[in-house]
Every structure is written in C-alpha cells, then in structure tokens.
Amino acid sequence: MVAQPARRDADPARHPTSPTSLVALTLAFASAATCLARPAWAETPDFVTVVLAEPDTPAPVDEAASSSLIAPNRTPRAFESLPQLLAEQPGVAITRSGGLGDFATVSLRGSAPNQVVIFVDGVPFSSASVGGVDVGMLRLGQGDYAEIYRGQTPIAYPTSGIGGVVALSSLPPTQTQAGGQVGTGSFQTRYGNAQLAHVTRKTSVSLEGHGLASENNFPYWNDGATVFNNTTDGMAIRQNNAVKQGDGRLRASVNLTPGRTLTAIASYLARERGVPNTGSLVSDRAHLSTRQWMGTAFYESDRDLGRQSTFRAQAYAMGSRQGFSDPAAEIAAVATETDDHTLTAGATLTGQKLAWPWLRLSSVLGGHREGFSPSSQSQPTGPEGTREAAVAGMEADFMPSLGAWHLIPSLRLEIARDTVAHRQPYDLNQFTSTAPATYVEPVARFSIQRSFHPEIQGRANVGRYGRLPSLYERYGNTGQVLGNSELVPEHGLNADLGLRWDHPTDRTRTALDVAIFGAEVTDLIVFQRAGERIRPLNIKGARVLGVEAALHTQVGQHLRAVAQGTFTDAREESDRKAEQGHQLPLRPRWRGYARPELRDLPIGRHLTVGAYVDVDLTGQNYLTGESLLPLRTRVQFGAGVHVDAPRLGMRVLCNVENIANSPFFDLAGYPLPGRSFFLTLAFQSQAITKETSS
C-alpha cells in the first residue's frame, strides 16, 4: 500500500477546454511542484503513540487537522468490518442497509456521504459517475491502517472533500513470515484470510487474500411498511440477502538506492450479493455483481529535492464492472438488466522541501480521467460520459521562528470537465452529445497550530471546499434518477478549534482531543420526487455546528480504554417550509462509543488472555428532513475475549455484537442484524528472517 505521509516536524534542523489542455496544465506546474513540493507521501513512518489511536499507529500527515487513525493493532475482535471501525471514531456517522457486506456510507461532521473523499493506497475511490463510495465493500487487511480527516483536506491528497477524507493505507512487511485466519459466525457466516511476506535487504513482497460468505438471513421485526399501524407487525426472516466476496492484493517494493524506493500494488475484488427489498416486501431474484481492480506504482525519495525533503510520484489505474439483475421487477419499476463499466487513470506528484529554517513549502499536482459506460438490455440507458480533472496546490508552513506558532496557508485549484453522450431511445447505438460542463474550483485553507505546553497543543482551521455534481445527478441514470443539467457545485466553508492533551507517566498515558466545529454549505444538492422518479436540485444549503471529544488511555502494558462522543446540529436552510430548520436526515445529533479492554495478560508460561466490553450510542436520528420519522435512540453492547499462545503463533478470538438483540435500522425497511456471534482462529508464523526492507 501507500507509505504514510510525513508528519510535520515541530522544529526546523473552470478547467481546460480539452484533454490536451489538461496535460498542458500538468506540465506547467511540474517544475514548481518539483522544486517546492510538500511531503504528501514520505518515507515509511515511525510508529509513535498519537491521540485517538492505538500505540502502534503512524503519525498523521496533517497535525493541524482534526484527525483520527485506526491502527493495524486496532481491536481484539474476532470479526470487524470497516463501517464498524469507522463508526467508533469521533465525528463519524455510518448508514447501513443490512448485514455484513451490504451497502454502507460514511458521513463526517454532518456532511453528505458524497462529500467525503475515499482514498485507497493514494488512489481516489470516490467516483464521478455516482459520487459516494460503498465502504461496506472495502476492508482493512492485516497490517492496514486508516486515517480520517474531519472537515479539512490535507494538501497531501489530490482531491478535496467538503466533509473530509478517509484514507486506507498499509505498510510494507518488515519480516518474512506467513499467517492466516479462519472464522465462523451467526447467520451462516464464514470468513478467512491468508498472508505471505518475503523480505530481503533490498526488496519486500507480500501477498494477501480474503474471503467472506454469509447468508445474512437474520430475523427482524417486520412493520408491514405501516409505521403508524402495528396490526400487521411481526417477526420475519431476511430473504435474498446473501453475500459472497473475495479479494486479494499483491505488493512489491524495491530499494533503488538509500532513500529511494519504488513500490507497485495490484488488487482485485469480486462480490456477489442478493438485493433484498424493503422489509415488508420480498425479492427472490434481484442480484448485484461487482468486479473491481486497481493497480498503482509510486516512487518515493527523501533525497531528490535536497536536504529535509520528500518527493513522491504515483501513477494509477482502476476499473470496475457492476451488473444489476432484476428480471421480475422486484426492485425496479420494470424488469432490469444493467452492466455498467468505469475506468479511471491518473497520476499525482507530491513533495515537501525545507526552503528556510522557518519555512517549509509543499505542493500537490495531479490529474485523472474517468470514463463511465452504462448498458442495459431492457431499457434506454443513462448517459455515457467522462470527467477529466486536474489539481495544482501549494502550502507554506511558517514554523516556530514566530515563537510557538505554526501559520499554515494553502491554496489549490481544482479543475474538471464533463463530456456526456446520451443514447438515442430509438437506437441504442446512436448518441447525442451534450455541451461539456467545465468547473473551476479554488480551494483555500488557513491553519494555526500552537504549543502551549509540552503536553498541550492547540489548533484552528478554516477552509473553503467544493463538490461537483456527479454525472448521474447532472444527467440522470438508467434507474430512478432524472438528471438536472442546471445543477451547480456545492460549496462548504468549514471551521474548527481544537485542543490536544497528551500526558505520559511512567506507567500510564492519557490523550484527550476536544474540538468545536461548524460548517456553512451553500447550493446543497438534494433529491425530490418527480412523478415515479426523483430529481436532484440545489437548495439554499445547510448549517452545521457541533462538538466532539475523544479519549485514549493506557495503564501499564495490559489495560486500555477508548471513548468518544459527538454532538452534531445539522440543519437544512431551505425555502421548503416543511424542512426549513430541521435536522438533516441520517445525521444523528448524538454519537458515542466506549471500549475498556484488557490485553495480553500472561497466564502461566505459555498463554495470554484478553477481554473487552463496548457500548455504542446513536440518538436523535431522523429518516426525513421534516423530522417526522425519528429513529429510536440506539444503545448497543458488545463483548469479546481472546486467548493467545505466542510461542505457537496461535490466537483464538470470540466476540458477540448487539448482546441485547435490539431491533434497529438505519434506513426505513432495511433492518440490521440482531445478536451476532463470531469465532476466529488465527495463526502467525515466527519470523523467518529479521532483515527489514529499510
């Protein structure tokens, strides 16, 4: 995966009119980026204890931003999904449509899911065709970690988001060994993974594979699609909800010379799952098939730009194919067979250079092209289109020659151009082109950091970001969305003020992070029903205010605890009186999570044990913008134990989720599982060699 972006040191020691213009813009900024580059992606990070993360977590790329990191050594669960791990972080709300592997989206600080940008190994996964990313399909492998930047986008990333950034990354292996896991769980769930790594002084190669299969046939409370009439209520079993997923990743790195590394990564994912209808209806045959591949190569150096510098050059390509089959019209209005293809290719240059003892200069330069091609055997398709985009940005970090202050202004220009061709309804092989849409979005941010004490650091951020309408919002799709060519980009003005306290002693360490935040979003894109279909339109916007806090503490080697709480007041500002001033739907006002745990306590000479309990709280969440359909306050408990035999490299883990078996859902008609058990047997070989790849 991607090497972790370098941390900041406290001390010094509308778009071109053609693809050709995009290339010209890239070349025009190339020399500036090479000389003034910021460390978007630096050398393999040192492992340090940071706020909001486990002890073995890399430092954040941007310490001025409000951030969380999910460590490789994250939780002692038998089974955990990416939506579950994200939901435990401050400022994060997850919306799920069912059980394991089902569709899930992430919201940061009251943002819409398509306002959050997702990166995997430095490759942007957020799609121009549909916008948001299904995080239920992604996962963190063994040794992977995730960064969450709330409300601000570090200059290291080539695409910005109004809500923020979620970046999944991994580290190169440090020793030659093999490992794996096999497990089982409720609702006929089976899963497993295997890892192989070979490391020499000059090279490292790792291969990882993962599989998941679940019937997801959990019992749920069926309200008969009559929220206010309980005469039809009763228990039912979720049907057509099975999922099968397999994915793998190959990673290879070579040290070219001291301080220079070349890395290549290739991954592939295949998923098949049923598509259930709302809880009151049955679908037996609707089915969704997904294939996705990604390849990337990047060169990293801390020598090419001079003393105390970093430079990274990355190229990538990604493709996906998604087929939806609904031959009996159980989900769609008519019988449907679609087969949609997406292909993306791009490149990014990032780096950092210490220009003077008091000034660090940074930059990002990138461009990509995404093509989307839908097809349908049953009805006229949505538009076939492309989006070409480029970004160029600079940042200056004025360091502590000004005392204890860091002043960090940054500016980037994001340019995009959409070209769309509609298929003729009378001849699907004929196309009608529409006028290209060109967008020019300046993105600016100003950050301040100040150290008040060796244990206390303050930060403040204000930034302006934008989000372009997705292709299906602007031009419609094969399904239920009518396009709106009059849509304009959303804009967000975000600000926060935060304080971090990190207090270590001989036997304990306590870290507390508190922040207040706000956002004003204009031209917010929402959907309204237009007959049998829905149509996007811009409204006045939304206003978000909130506060978040996170605590991490460790006592000795075996006792740990994490906790977070978030209050988010996200209200719609609209001319629609029914929704004016109400909480935005699916943005809960209250979120909280806590987990005390015991880890690796020796029992005798050959065994260690551990245990945890956790609680998850969601309150004042609504299904509609009129706040007429509140979801009941959700309190969910979990617990788990694990037993290790370190000399044998064996570990047995068991955990239970939703102990009280409480019925709940995030989306109306799409219930979530009740009480769930998981049991895992894990194996890790002893290191065959102690040589590292550095």
pLDDT digits (tens, 9 = 90+) for 448-498: 999 888 899 999 999 999 999 988 788 776 666 777 888 899 999 999 999
**Residue (of 151, 63, 138, 65) closest to 100 by Cα position:** 138
Kindly tell me if the per-residue pLDDT of 62 is higher than 60.
yes
| Residue matched to tokens 């997850």 | 94
| CA angle centred on 418, ends 416 and 419, rounded to 5° | 145
Phi, psi of 503 (to 5 degrees): -120, 100
What's the alpha-carbon Rg for the chain, to the nearest Å?
A: 25
CA dist., res. 278 & res. 643, Å (int): 41
Beta carbons of 55 and 554 less than 8 angstroms apart: yes
Q: By mean pLDDT, which of 217-231, 247-261, 386-400 is the weakest?
A: 217-231
Q: By mean pLDDT, which of 46-50, 143-147, 419-423 is the weakest?
A: 46-50
**Residue (of 188, 185, 189, 174) closest to 142 by Cα position:** 174
* Mean pLDDT value across residues 289-314: 94
The per-residue pLDDT for 227 is: 57
Kindly tell me if the per-residue pLDDT of 9 is higher than 50.
no
Ordered alpha helix ranges (H), 260-410? none
Structure tokens at 433: 């082109």
| CA angle centred on 200, ends 198 and 205, rounded to 5° | 35
Residue type, 150: R
CA dist., res. 535 & res. 540, Å (int): 16
Kindly tell me if the per-residue pLDDT of 688 is higher than 80.
no
Please provide the average confidence, as pLDDT, over all residues in the chain.
84
For residues 298 and 222, which has the higher predicted lDDT (pLDDT)?
298
The per-residue pLDDT for 23 is: 31
pLDDT tens, position by position, 365-411: 999 999 988 877 666 666 788 999 999 999 999 987 556 788 999 99
The per-residue pLDDT for 4 is: 39
Residue type, 280: S
Kindly indicate the confidence band of residue 692, based on its pLDDT and cuts at 50, 70 and 90.
very low
CA dist., res. 619 & res. 615, Å (int): 13
Structure tokens at 172: 């190169």
How, if at all, do strands 116-120 and 164-170 pair?
Answer: parallel
pLDDT tens, position by position, 324-348: 998 888 887 788 888 889 999 999 9
Fold observed for domain 19-270+277-314+331-684: Maltoporin; Chain A (2.40.170)
Q: By mean pLDDT, which of 372-381, 593-602, 618-627 is the weakest?
A: 372-381
Kindly tell me if the per-residue pLDDT of 11 is higher than 60.
no
Phi, psi of 471 (to 5 degrees): -65, -35
CA dist., res. 473 & res. 526, Å (int): 10
* Mean pLDDT value across residues 557-562: 93
CA dist., res. 104 & res. 94, Å (int): 7
pLDDT tens, position by position, 99-158: 888 899 999 999 999 999 999 999 999 888 777 899 999 988 877 899 999 999 999 999
% of the chain with per-residue pLDDT over 70: 83
How remote is the C-alpha of 549 from its chain's centroid? 20
Q: Which residues contact 353 (CB under 8 A, 6 or more apart)?
A: 35, 36, 37, 38, 305, 306, 308, 309, 360, 361, 362
The per-residue pLDDT for 236 is: 87
Kindly tell me if the per-residue pLDDT of 88 is higher than 70.
yes
Kindly tell me if the per-residue pLDDT of 14 is higher than 80.
no
The per-residue pLDDT for 423 is: 54
The per-residue pLDDT for 471 is: 82
pLDDT tens, position by position, 17-36: 333 333 333 333 333 333 33
Kindly tell me if the per-residue pLDDT of 629 is higher than 80.
no
Residue type, 220: Y
Phi, psi of 633 (to 5 degrees): -55, 130
Kindly tell me if the per-residue pLDDT of 39 is higher than 60.
no
Beta carbons of 369 and 385 less than 8 angstroms apart: no
The per-residue pLDDT for 531 is: 65
Our CA dihedral for 534, 537, 543, 544, rounded to 10 degrees, sits at 50
